[in-house]
A and B are shown apart, each in its own frame.
Chain A
């Protein structure tokens, strides 16, 4: 049994480990305003608020909603929809509940527009009909409406109290009850004990990777999971004198919304803003990005360029491994069974050159085709060049770094960078891009990026 609040009302229900928050809302509580558009966290049609932040309900395991506050489109009153009706923000309507939820969130948090455009904030809500102008104008109209910033929403939960019988769940969902178990430890010690006894268990937190296409991936339902979301000691981040310490549950949005991060470690903010859109940034964790070990990870290159260290814990105690040395091969990490990433230490150093380029297939909601993070220490001049989507792991490029150390003030030529990269990376052809493109673009990002910055600093 879990207890949560849905649209302000307490709800108690039993959930299956394989159920998503989206399934609970639609099929258990009859709150069908929340739509499923893709089941992979791309389209935002299932946007709801989880403890006040927009998230994709298709990527939230239902058990993680325990004790939390969930708000759906049904909690908005009609007056709040009016701005979107007049501007042509809706056509077929499939995206509309998600669009309105994100739009209303912006309306309630107008400060976010000091750093973000409305178009960036809305990029997690795909629309195939309107071309977005009507949506953007709808958000602008909502911002200008009198309720702006301080709305009192009437609350009505559907569900067990509602007179209608609950809707039948599609057969596919009845079939997905897996054999798997989910453990929900309440403390880190308890979690480490569990992991020590369950060497094959999968730690789960933001779930933005693990729940993608969940209903079709039946084999994933049979795994054993250790849910970390009750471990409050791993939440958030702290600024120590010489380092930023990210907790194991620290999210991208934690960093995006901390103005100090932008001042001190701007590449973290830059990378975080390019992870999905707010719905993913609010859920995805830095530690999860490392542990997922995708060569296309957005968070890892900037952490590596800043010389971050991974803090692991197990019942045997803590261990620290420089992120540089953490990856062994594709999806293989220097981690022993029973170990958990409990934090990251990011040194606070001065850099005179620091940039991150992510090359995705579009401006937001994109998996990197190739990317590079580059830093040069202001004091001692050491370079770090980190490439992603160009090798089996995110990795530093030592040959390029050596080339730069020799180059002094001039940017190396494209040809010399391409030669150096041939030693450092080994990109492949896949559904997202071509090896040739990745190789050439990586060289071009470095060449033009260095030209601009070395000229600036000259």
Chain B
């Protein structure tokens, strides 16, 4: 990463180094999302119930190993979807190629897996002539059932309710009717609606969190304020706001009494990396524990809140000249979480988030351009810590997913990115997307801060299969690849028609 390069240069030069990439350098040099080819073969009964799944995942690993093994791991663990099935075989491999290095990208393997399993659910429904929503409803994991790795899901979240909420907000039944009428009366436009549902494991895979052994410090300052010291980096996702909120709530102090330390490794303990949607859920939980420990160290009981805390910290400093009082929060695995790295059996994640998305599109039959008319994202996230920030993560992730589904193509040219500039690597503008309608369902997760689960990455997973499903409804073809550029859709839609 750019930070490592700057650090190496700084060590060699023995002075501070600032590294600035021009945008084309940035686009050419940073790692990309792994291209994937995924094949599903599924046995189902006449009602569409899954009997057996056989799934193959192959990732283009690019020229260097980078993070391919762990991206592949997350892709495989999610490959069977949020569905219950007794007989599952998942095989995955990442293949070295002479292409650009691929690495960590929002979703970390699951977006690719999600496109596979959700496209395949539509294929099953089509083959059996069943409603694709009904097929999903039938197969969604119920509490007490297990995932492909044998992880028992028992979180109290109602996955069918998540799906039904999205279907209701997206007015799917009504739209199917109005689209039929619209399509019959418009020569050059077709509309369609698509529905998907999926899951995303929150935090590091398997024993990752145990290995990280993360810590957070909460220091009582001489003036009675509390400084939270954690390694999590604010990059716009709201770490400073959320940590402030969590510490203030925990201690009953106003936000102004909380200081968030800059994550400089001289001053903060190792809280693990700012990745994997783990900051609010896992590190935030350590903020709470560190606050609890601080309260104990200044002689208070666990119920003490507000000015009592502030006064106790001040009093402690008056008695301990030039000493520091620091509460420590240290990661402890939730009970019952066991993961076997060799057999891939057990609890791959502490918990999963659940989601259902509905997309409505219009395809222009002149150009095969896809316009997103409406988008609904229903997310079960444990607990929303900050409405504006959480909504922003979902809307931003959805629009990034829309870009990936429709426009964003990393063109390979002899092992380099062939379009490393914003003129030719197309991301959506404000004119390309409708308002993204977000709704949250909350079933608190006891081991996340205030019940929260990591939500940053997983909104990206939904749009590719949701838009593909909507395009399928509009054009009566089944897109199996993204991005669904107009060139590709034209080829698909005109295949078999006279030239």
Stretch of A11-19, A256-264, A358-366 at the chain-chain interface:
A358-366
Q: How does the 8 Å CB contact mask read for B410-446 relative to A, with 1 for contact and 0 for none?
A: 0100000011011110111111110110000000000
CB distance from B375 to the nearest CB of A (A): 9
Q: Does A213 contact B (CB under 8 A)?
A: yes
Is B391's CB within 8 Å of the partner chain A? yes
Q: Which residues of B contact A447 (CB under 8 A)?
A: 366
**Interface residues as binary, A250-272 with B (CB distance below 8 Å gives 1, 0 otherwise):** 00000000000000000000000
The answer on a CB contact under 8 Å between B427 and A441 is: no
Q: Mark B20-61, 1 if CB is under 8 A from A, else 0.
A: 101110000000000000000000000000000000000000
Partner of A361, one of B188, B391, B407, B418: B407
Judge whether A91 is part of the interface by a CB distance below 8 angstroms: yes
Q: How many residues of A contact B (CB 8 A)?
A: 66
On chain B, the residues within 8 Å of A211 by CB distance are: none
B494 at the A interface (CB under 8 A): yes
Rounded to whole angstroms, the CA-CA distance of A361 and B418 in the bound complex is 16
Q: Is the interface on chain B under 10, 10 to 19, 20 to 34, or 35 or more residues? A: 35 or more
Known A-B contacts A91-B396, A444-B365; the reply to A132 vs B236 at CB < 8 A is no
What CA separation (Å) do A40 and B398 show in the bound complex? 26
A125 near B418: Cβ-Cβ < 8 Å: no
The docked-state distance in angstroms from the alpha carbon of A434 to that of B491 is 11
Q: Which residues of A contact B426 (CB under 8 A)?
A: 361-362, 366
B359 touches A (CB below 8 Å): no
B431 touches A437 (CB 8 A): no
Q: Determine if A337 is an interface residue (Cβ-Cβ < 8 Å).
A: no
* A38 near B23: Cβ-Cβ < 8 Å: yes
Taking CB atoms, residues of chain B closer than 8 Å to A369 are 486
Q: Does B237 contact A (CB under 8 A)?
A: yes
How long is the Cα–Cα vector from A215 to B23 in the complex, in angstroms? Answer: 11
Specify which chain A residues have a CB less than 8 angstroms from the CB of B394 in the assembled complex.
131
A134–B395 CB distance below 8 A = yes
Q: B435 and A133: CB pair below 8 A? A: yes
Q: Are A359 and B430 in touch, CB under 8 angstroms?
A: no
Q: Contact flags (1/0) for B341-385 with A, using CB distance below 8 Å? A: 000000000000000000000000111110000000000000000
Chain A residue contacts of B407, Cβ below 8 A: 361-362
Min CB distance B460 to A, Å, is 11
Q: Which of A126, A418, A433 contacts B427 (CB 8 A)?
A: A126
Determine whether B400 belongs to the interface, using a CB cutoff of 8 Å to chain A. yes
Complex interface residues of chain B between 313 and 345 (CB less than 8 A to chain A): none
Per-residue CB contact flags for chain A residues 83-125 toward chain B (1 = under 8 Å, else 0) read 0001110111100000000000000000000000111101111
The reply to whether B431 and A363 form a contact with Cβ atoms under 8 Å apart is yes
Are A359's CB and B411's CB within 8 A? no
A88 near B411 (CB under 8 angstroms)? no
* A437 and B395 form a contact (CB under 8 A): no
Q: Smallest CB-CB separation from B485: which chain A residue?
A: A361
B399 at the interface (CB under 8 A from A): yes
A53 interface hit (Cβ, 8 Å):
no
Residues facing A in B469-499 (CB within 8 A) are 485-487, 490, 494, 499
Cβ-defined partner of A93 (8 Å) among B236, B395, B419, B429: B236
A290 at the interface (CB under 8 A from B): no
Give A447 to B187 CA distance when docked, in angstroms. 11
Q: Are B395 and A130 in contact (CB under 8 A)?
A: yes
Evaluate contact between B366 and A444: CB separation under 8 angstroms: yes
Residues 356-377 of A at the B interface (beta carbon under 8 Å): 357, 359, 361-367, 369
Chain B residues near A134 (CB, 8 Å)?
Answer: 388, 391-392, 395
Closest A residue to B392 by CB, please name it.
Answer: A88
B residues 433-466 touching A (CB-CB < 8 Å) = 433, 435-436
Least CB distance, A283 to chain B, in whole angstroms: 16
A403-430 CB mask vs B (1 if < 8 Å, else 0) is 0000000000001001000000000000
Evaluate contact between A38 and B392: CB separation under 8 angstroms. Answer: no
- Is A161 in contact with chain B by the CB < 8 A criterion? no
B308 CB–A CB distance under 8 Å:
no
**CB within 8 A of A136: which of B20, B238, B435?**
B435
- Contact yes or no, B490 A131, CB < 8 A: no
**Complexed CA–CA distance, A449 and B367 (Å):** 12
Whether A132 lies near B399 (C-beta < 8 A) is yes
A91 CA / B400 CA spacing, docked (Å): 14
The answer to whether A401 has its CB under 8 Å from any CB of chain B is no
Chain A residue numbers with a CB within 8 Å of B24 are 213, 216
CB atoms of B22 and A39 under 8 A apart? yes
Residue of A nearest to B487 (CB): A437
Could you tell me the distance between the alpha carbons of A369 and B418 in the complex, rounded to whole angstroms? 17
Closest residue of chain B to A212 (Cβ to Cβ) is B423
Contact assessment for A129 and B432 in the assembled complex, using a CB-CB cutoff below 8 Å = no
Q: How far is the CA of A133 from the CA of B429 in the complex (A)?
A: 11
Given A119-B431, A131-B397, A365-B429, A88-B236 contact (CB < 8 Å): no
Q: Do B432 and A362 touch (CB < 8 A)?
A: yes
Which residues A21-79 have CB closer than 8 A to chain B? 37-40, 42-43
A132 CA to B430 CA, complexed, in Å: 6
**With known contacts A39-B22, A363-B432, A129–B427 Cβ distance under 8 A:** no
Q: Is the CB of A86 within 8 A of B494?
A: no
Contacts known (A88-B389, A363-B429); A448 close to B423, Cβ less than 8 A: no
CB distance from B333 to the nearest CB of A (A): 31
Q: Is the CB of A444 within 8 A of B367?
A: yes
A194 to chain B, nearest CB (A): 32
CB <8 Å contact, B429 and A131: no
A177 interface residue per 8 A CB criterion = no
Asked whether, in the complex, the Cβ of A432 is within 8 Å of the Cβ of B367, the reply is: no
**A122 to B432, alpha carbons, bound, how many Å?**
11
Cα–Cα, bound, A87→B392 (Å): 9
Q: Which of A38, A359, A451 contacts B422 (CB 8 A)?
A: A38
Name the residue of chain A whose CB is nearest to the CB of B188.
Answer: A448
Out of B366, B391, B411, B435, name the residue touching A445 (CB < 8 Å): B366
Q: Which residue of A lies closest to B375 (CB)?
A: A131
Task: Report the separation of the CA atoms of residues A172 and B431 in the bound assembly, to the nearest whole angstrom.
Answer: 35
CA distance A418 to B369 in the complex (A): 20
CB distance from A340 to the nearest CB of B (A): 28
The answer to whether A91 touches B22, judged by C-beta atoms less than 8 angstroms apart, is no
Whether the pair A132, B433 counts as a contact (CB closer than 8 A) is yes
Given contacts A38-B23, A362-B407, A433-B487, contact A135 B430 (CB under 8 A): yes
- Tell me the bound Cα distance from A43 to B24 in angstroms: 13
Give 15 new A-B contacts, CB below 8 A, not counting A37-B422, A131-B396: A38-B23, A42-B423, A43-B422, A118-B430, A129-B236, A130-B392, A130-B396, A132-B395, A134-B388, A134-B392, A215-B22, A363-B431, A437-B490, A441-B367, A451-B187
- Chain A residues in the interface with B (C-beta under 8 A): 37-40, 42-43, 86-88, 90-93, 117-120, 122-136, 170, 172, 212-213, 215-216, 277, 357, 359, 361-367, 369, 415, 418, 431-434, 436-437, 440-441, 444-445, 447-449, 451-452
20 A-B residue pairs with CB within 8 Å: A37-B23, A40-B423, A88-B389, A91-B238, A120-B431, A125-B430, A126-B422, A131-B433, A134-B392, A136-B430, A212-B423, A361-B426, A362-B432, A365-B429, A366-B426, A441-B366, A441-B486, A444-B365, A447-B366, A448-B187
Pairs A-B, 4 closest by C-beta atoms? A91-B236, A131-B395, A92-B236, A131-B399
